[in-house]
Amino acid sequence: MEHKLNVLLINGSPNAKGCTYTALSEVERTLQAEGIATELVHIGNRDIRGCIACYKCAEQGHCVFNDAVNELAPKFEAADGLVVGSPTYYAGPNGTLTNLLDRLFFSTPFSKRMKVGAAVCSARRGGTTATLDRLNKYFTISEMPVASSRYWNMVHGHNAEDVLKDEEGIQCMRILGRNMAFLLRAIAAERERNGLPMQEETVYTNFIR
């Protein structure tokens, strides 16, 4: 059976149907229109603690804290792409989401290479570019190509109704969805023809000797 490309979307906002959800929903609708299967998961109201650097995940293959991180791990492994969305708190992503992503990326033993990543964020006014910069780092340390739009992946508004009036922001979400679908198909086709790029063994360099 032919593999159907799929994307996992994570809503990190505590508001299940607010500004961040509105942005993610536009991306999701566009992906679906492009033939990509999607799942949108809300984790922003969950109690998700940060990593305690116990390294038990290296022994067990999963995080020692059995919460949303372990629930999402198999979904992330099966996904061809990941979209994470966050409101802007003090010019950065909210703590619940970063707690989850810290542990999700660190504790999972499977490779993230060539899964396509994208981040979106919402704000009433400012702090969005710093939020996106923080979120994109999860992808760029993991050999995940980052999908982009015509402008940075952000929407503005105090509530969902405001976000829908941000026509440029909503357009950016649609463009992001189409660009992500294109990358997913291109990577899948190249993987089928020639496989993934050559993988080198990791080299660790310590700066204090």
pLDDT at residue 1, as a whole number: 63
Residue 207: pLDDT over 90: no
Joined together, the tokens standing for residue 178 give: 């189409």
Residue 18: pLDDT over 90: yes
pLDDT at residue 209, as a whole number: 61
CA dihedral 97, 128, 170, 15 (to 10 degrees): 40
- Ordered domains of the chain (ranges, CATH): 6-194 (3.40.50.360)
What is the chain's mean pLDDT, rounded?
96
- Span 62-84, mean pLDDT? 98
Q: Is 173 helix (H, G, I), strand (E, B) or coil?
A: helix
Predicted TM-score (pTM) of this structure: 0.96
Residue with tokens 């989850």, as numbered in its chain? 100
111-136 pLDDT, tens per residue? Answer: 999 999 999 999 999 999 999 999 99
- Residue 77: count other Cβ atoms within 10 Å of its Cβ: 14
